[in-house]
Structures are given as C-alpha cells and as structure tokens.
Amino acid sequence: MKFTLRLNIINHRDINVLAFHSGQHINYVINVYSDDNQSALHFLNRNIVDLNNTVVMTGDFNIRDNDWDPNYPHHSAHTEDLLTLAKSLGLDLSPPTNPGPTRFADNPRDTNSVIDLAFINPNNSGFGQHSLHPELRRPSDHVPLIIEVSINKTNIDNSFWSISKDSEEENNFIKAITDNILALDTSNITSKENLETIVQQSASTFSEAWYSQAKKKCITKHSKDWWNHACTESLNRYRNTGDIEYWREFKSNIRVAKRKFFDNKIHEITSSNKRPWDLMNWVKKKNLPTIESIIYEGQSCNTLPELWHTLHSSLL
C-alpha cells in the first residue's frame, strides 16, 4: 500500500494519479478537483491514457445532478462526460453507505450539495463502498469520503536457511554435491524420461545435502551480518556461567568478527564491484525518482509486457 505519484502519466495541478503494486500488477488511484468550468474533467477526456488497472477515481467534481443528489431537481450538462470517463476506466459510481451532502454551504440561504463522488472498479473485491464522515470535516466545508480496503491476512516467514561462508558446513555441502555429480551415471540417457529421472535424483540429493548442513535463522531487528558461530558460543557460555572472563571472550570475538567481516567487505568493494560509494552511507548511488517511468513512442510503459516490447523494439 505504498503509493507513488505518477506525474509522467498525467501532469496537471488538479489531477493526481497514484500508483501502487498489487501482486504482479500496478493499480491506479485518480484524485480530481474540477472547478466550475470543468477544466480538469475536459483535460481527462482529451488526454486520458490507457489505465486499465484503475481501481478508484474520486474527488470534488463540482457537478450537481439529480442522479446522486435527490434534493437537486436538475441534470447537469457535464454528467455525461463524467460517466463516459468513468466507464472508459472500468469504474462505476459508488453510492455512499450513508447518503447525505458532501459540501455544506457557507451561506445559510444556500442549500447543501453532493459534489464529492467516488467511482470504484466493481471487479476489485478489495475496495468496498465509501462512507461519509461529516464529523471529521472540522473547519472545511467538504465532508471526508472514506473507502474501506480489505487486506487479506498474510503470514510472513521471518526465518531462512543459511550456511555460513568459509565454514565447515559449507565445505561439507560442496563435497556432498561434488560427490553426487561425480557419481552420476550418464551412460544410459537414451530418452527424455531417463534424463528427467537423473535430474530429479540430483535435485533430491542436493536438497538433502543443503538441509543437512544449513541452519534455520530468524530475522530480527537485532540481526547482524557480521555475527558468527564463535560469537554465539561465547555468549552462551557467559549466559550459562555469568563468568566475567567469558564476557571478555565474547567482546573479543565480536571485535574479531567485525574486523573480518568489514575487511572482506572492503576487499569486495575495491576489487570486485568497484562501487566505492557503498562504503559511505551519505554518498550512495543515486536512485531514479519514483515518479519516473520509461516512455516509448509517446506512451508510458507500466507493465512487464510493455517493457519487454520496448526493449525488443529498441534492439531491432
């Protein structure tokens, strides 16, 4: 649910296009403020791009119409433009769960109105109907519209299996898979079925070798990349005995582990990846702004197939 402002799709002071990832797709939320001249609505109808995954369009459309305000007896000339735009994005008008005015008039002689609307994609089950909350408007004359988004419960596994580099377990694992490769009998690969059998046997052997040597570790906010087995053993000895000598041993192991880890990291940076900025937190490689995207033939590439087509076409 991390939203990104996409100025590369629509750059208009009264229109915000927000994007967020959901699985393998990019979904869009459009927020609109359209003045009395309906400049934002006209701009959208003239310049709307292909946003097939738009899930919500909401905002102050400044259109009074009997279709959503039963206290208003007329129909607006702009209603058809708004509904056509919503239909092109696959959106339906969302009736609030507690109908009422969305703007309270400053002049007591004027009537309150319904001009803040929400359009929701009916095929997206995560977004329900919206509700009005006049008690939250404070000094504003507009009522907040709140849409409930259902988020499925997900169990996030914070553990992983690992073999420490340059450890005895790593040597045992490499030896096991090397012995398996040397013992493979490839003299009878006469069919696809025989080949698949050999591959499956090797995969099973590799898996058994991995889990026989790897250890399950849990990721916490206290996890340290430099921590090793010697640190664990000395800490456990101190906890079991409370002996100050074991505490000194533990602190000494920490210093040795840190020195070895960061010496290896510095060697890797200076001799392998050639990225000296990794040594400095304040001068890291600059990332592209999150609002940027690839434009090809005047169209933004927002999906993997579009990106692949752009890459393929540029190589021809």
In percent, the amount of the chain with pLDDT more than 70 equals 87
β-partners of residue 5 are 18
Taking CA atoms, 267 is separated from 28, 132, 171, 253, in Å, by: 44, 60, 22, 21
47 or 281, greater pLDDT: 47
Give the helix ranges, DSSP H, for the chain: 39-47, 79-88, 168-183, 192-213, 229-241, 244-268, 304-315
Give residue 14's pLDDT band: very low, low, confident or very high (50, 70, 90). very high
Is residue 166 pLDDT above 80, yes or no? no
**Segment 34-65, tens digit of pLDDT:** 998 899 999 998 887 677 789 999 999 999 99
How far apart CA 87 and CA 83 sit, in angstroms, is: 6
Residue type present at position 117: L
Q: Retrieve residue 302's tokens.
A: 């927002």
- Unique residue bearing structure tokens 């994007």: 19
Read off the pLDDT of each residue in 207-228 and give the average, rounded to a whole number: 80
Q: Is this model's pTM higher than 0.85 or not? A: no
Hey, is 308 helix, strand or coil?
helix
In the chain, how many H helices and how many E strands?
Answer: 7, 12
- Unique residue bearing structure tokens 């939250």: 136
pLDDT at 298: 75
Strands 215-218 and 92-93, by their bridges, are: unpaired
pLDDT at 159: 76
Q: Retrieve residue 164's tokens.
A: 């420490």
How far apart CA 193 and CA 282 sit, in angstroms, is: 56
- Unique residue bearing structure tokens 């994609």: 121
pLDDT at 126: 79
264 within 8 A of 278, measured Cβ to Cβ: no
What backbone torsions phi and psi does residue 2 show, to the nearest 5 degrees?
-90, 115
Hey, is 15 helix, strand or coil?
strand
Residue type present at position 194: N
* Boundaries of every domain in the chain: 4-149, 160-217
How far apart CA 177 and CA 207 sit, in angstroms, is: 9
Give residue 315's pLDDT band: very low, low, confident or very high (50, 70, 90). low
**Nearest partner of 81 among 38, 124, 47, judged by Cα:** 38
Give residue 232's pLDDT band: very low, low, confident or very high (50, 70, 90). confident
**Nearest partner of 96 among 71, 126, 69, 121, judged by Cα:** 69
Q: Retrieve residue 226's tokens.
A: 């430099």
How far apart CA 190 and CA 316 sit, in angstroms, is: 40
**Segment 189-207, tens digit of pLDDT:** 888 888 888 888 888 989 9
pLDDT at 248: 92
Superfamily of segment(s) 4-149 = Endonuclease/exonuclease/phosphatase (3.60.10.10)
* Residue 127: alpha-carbon gap to chain centroid: 18
